[in-house]
């Protein structure tokens, strides 16, 4: 094995597919060589996961303690909304992450 020079299909820049990277790909069972440089792979990954984007938050009043809180969904009014502390005390164990 030896380092390979590849060209990124997104930005067109050359990048090195190092021996170490090739070994990693082989260990993971990847059959194809990377088509994007590290920067373009990171940027694409962030775009897909929504990373770096601010999540829209909505104000709500906790149904248990009455404190004003923010939640990542728009309350509809048909179900109770809880602040973080109250949610931890009322949510089933499997629902908390």
Tens of pLDDT, residue by residue over 42-84, are 888 877 776 556 678 899 999 999 999 999 899 998 999 999 8
Region class of 29: left (phi > 0), else alpha (psi between -120 and 50), else beta: left
> Whole-angstrom Cα distance, residue 62 to residue 81?
5
Percent of the chain topping pLDDT 70: 90
Domain ranges of the chain: 4-49, 58-95
Mean pLDDT, residues 19-46: 92
pLDDT reported for residue 51: 57
Report pTM: 0.48
* Spatial contact of 55 and 44, defined as CB atoms under 8 Å apart: no
Each residue of 48-76: b (16+ CB within 10 Å) or e? Answer: eeeeeeeeeeeebebeeeeeebebeeeee
If DSSP codes are grouped into helix, strand and coil, which group holds residue 24? Answer: helix
């Amino acid at each position: 094995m030896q380092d390979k020079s590849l060209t990124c299909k997104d930005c067109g820049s050359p990048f090195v597919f190092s021996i170490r990277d090739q070994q990693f790909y082989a260990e993971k069972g990847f059959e194809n060589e990377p088509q994007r440089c590290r920067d373009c792979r990171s940027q694409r990954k962030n775009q897909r996961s929504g990373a770096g984007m601010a999540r829209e938050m909505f104000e709500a009043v906790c149904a248990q303690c009455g404190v004003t809180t923010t939640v990542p969904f728009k309350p509809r009014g048909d179900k109770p909304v809880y602040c973080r502390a109250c949610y931890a005390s009322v949510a089933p164990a499997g629902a908390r992450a």
